[in-house]
């Protein structure tokens, strides 16, 4: 048996397949990603749409859209105590990727292309933790703990490495907050990870959304719906567009978002208090509030959380993207990001110029003790990061496209397979800024 430690991938929001089950435990359809009859769904709003276009006012159109959105997301419905209404099951295999069915084997690598890592450590040491992205964080943390222990047992390894991708960083926080003391984890390599949350989630929860980009929200119904919405909205009264967008958000929030601890675990620390007062202060979601508050505490003082992890032998590394504004649907426009995750949050504290801007000539990094911490394009000051020497930045990196960035993937592979490498100063091939 090789000395390489196994790696457990904790994937992002769209990378786990979740099935809706009937009362007997039989699979009904995909609950996530959403599975529904797009043609029938669009047909349901055809009449209200025609009436609205004729009268040039809402005329019940926003209500029809809200009902449709509610029907579409119904499989993911959660109760106010943070539990799922329907029986759901993530398609998860309690074995290494080497023993996956062929179709699932291909799907894993298509979503998270870590063949390079498998070639080094062996596929029998690569594991993929599928989970319900709209589940309960505490339950998922327990499931991940059992999964990690199983990976150790199967491989005989003393510890595992974790590779959280995007939303996987939220689950990683919850898991290590609860189980770091069991000393099962060696390295954590975050890939464009929401370790500090994202303003995208906070903006959606707070209805801080941009009506001008409302057609993007129609993407939930697929590309055809988004294209139709874009054409339609050019002639729809602005007031109708705004009302419809907010009605749709309300429908998703009522059924899923407000009751989901994974979602609340994605809210940045500086946005949490106002959203908590708005949605969680009435006592109806007390279990959700307690979990959300704990995640907010971690975000607010991540250095303290890192110390707790370090005391348990956990090393953390971050691979981040920057150079882009957040997606158009949200109103937070001045944040530097990879489109989905704020760079300052993914990097645990980098000081960033506003999106589209750079530091003024003569800018001096805030922490002089960190070597060469200002990016060549003068957009990032890494000296303020909680872990400045174990955090890497890729310029003009779009969130989803990290899977196509061969340099970033090679960096992740190196970190997960070479304990002699672990700093931006260790190898000129992998400098802090790329």
The residue ranges of every structural domain in the chain are 7-15+94-199+299-417
Share of the chain above pLDDT 70, in %: 95
State the pLDDT at residue 179. 98
Q: How far apart are CA 47 and CA 227, in angstroms?
A: 19
pLDDT (tens digit per residue) in 216-266? 766 555 555 566 666 667 778 889 989 999 999 999 999 999 999 999 999
Q: Which helix (H) or strand (E) segment is 126 a member of?
A: strand 126-128
State the pLDDT at residue 1. 36
For residue 128 the two structure tokens come to: 């993929």
The burial of 361, by beta-carbon neighbours within 10 Å (0-12 exposed, 13-18 middle, 19 or more buried), is given as exposed
The count of other CB atoms within 10 Å of the CB of residue 428 is: 6
Q: How far apart are CA 393 and CA 410, in angstroms?
A: 14
DSSP, collapsed to helix, strand or coil, labels residue 310 as helix
Superfamily of domain 7-15+94-199+299-417: Alpha/Beta hydrolase fold, catalytic domain (3.40.50.1820)
Q: Which helix (H) or strand (E) segment is 272 a member of?
A: helix 269-279
State the pLDDT at residue 3. 86
Mean pLDDT by runs of 10 across the 434 residues of the chain is 86 95 95 86 87 93 93 96 97 96 94 96 98 97 98 98 98 98 98 98 95 69 60 79 93 97 98 98 97 98 98 98 95 95 98 96 96 97 98 97 97 98 98 98
State the pLDDT at residue 221. 52
pLDDT (tens digit per residue) in 291-305? 999 999 999 999 999
For residue 389 the two structure tokens come to: 């020497």
In 3D space, the residue among 127, 161, 129, 125 whose CA is nearest the CA of residue 142 turns out to be: 129
Q: How far out from the chain centre does Cα 353 lie?
A: 23
CB 301 within 8 A of CB 315: no
Q: How far out from the chain centre does Cα 421 lie?
A: 27
Q: Pairing state of beta strands 27-32 and 87-90?
A: unpaired
């Amino acid at each position: 048996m090789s000395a390489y430690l196994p790696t457990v991938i904790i994937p992002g929001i769209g990378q786990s397949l979740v099935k809706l089950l009937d009362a007997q435990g039989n699979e009904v359809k995909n609950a996530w990603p959403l599975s529904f009859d797009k043609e029938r769904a669009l047909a349901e709003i055809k009449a209200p749409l025609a009436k609205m276009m004729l009268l040039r006012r809402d005329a019940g159109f926003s209500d029809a859209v809200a009902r449709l959105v509610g029907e579409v997301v119904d499989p993911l419905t959660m109760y106010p105590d943070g539990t799922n209404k329907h029986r759901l099951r993530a398609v998860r295999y309690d074995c290494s990727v080497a023993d996956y069915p062929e179709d699932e084997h291909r799907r894993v690598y298509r979503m998270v292309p870590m063949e390079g890592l498998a070639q080094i450590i062996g596929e029998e040491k690569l594991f993929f933790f599928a989970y319900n992205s709209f589940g309960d964080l505490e339950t998922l943390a327990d499931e991940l703990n059992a999964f990690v222990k199983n990976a150790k047992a199967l491989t005989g390894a003393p510890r595992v490495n974790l590779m959280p991708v995007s939303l996987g960083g939220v689950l990683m926080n919850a898991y290590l907050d609860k189980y770091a003391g069991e000393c099962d984890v060696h390295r954590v390599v975050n890939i464009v990870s929401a370790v500090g949350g994202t303003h995208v989630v906070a903006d959606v929860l707070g209805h801080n959304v941009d009506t001008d980009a409302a057609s993007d929200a129609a993407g939930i119904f697929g590309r055809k719906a988004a294209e139709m919405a874009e054409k339609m909205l050019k002639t729809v009264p602005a007031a109708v567009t705004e009302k419809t967008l907010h009605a749709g958000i309300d429908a998703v929030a009522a059924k899923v978002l407000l009751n989901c601890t994974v979602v609340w675990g994605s809210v940045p620390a500086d946005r949490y208090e106002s959203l908590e007062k708005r949605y969680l202060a009435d006592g109806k979601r007390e279990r959700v509030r307690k979990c959300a508050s704990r995640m907010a505490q971690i975000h607010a003082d991540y250095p303290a959380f890192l110390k707790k992890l370090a005391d348990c032998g956990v090393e953390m590394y971050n691979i981040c993207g920057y150079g882009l504004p957040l997606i158009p649907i949200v109103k937070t426009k001045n944040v530097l990001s990879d489109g989905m995750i704020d760079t300052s949050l993914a990097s645990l504290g980098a000081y960033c110029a506003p999106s589209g801007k750079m530091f003024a000539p003569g800018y001096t990094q805030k922490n002089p003790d960190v070597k060469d911490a200002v990016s060549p394009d003068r957009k990032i000051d890494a000296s303020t990061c909680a872990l400045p020497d174990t955090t890497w930045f890729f310029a003009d990196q779009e969130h989803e496209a990290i899977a196509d960035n061969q340099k970033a993937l090679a960096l992740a592979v190196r970190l997960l397979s070479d304990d002699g490498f672990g700093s931006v100063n260790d190898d000129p091939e992998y400098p802090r800024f790329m």
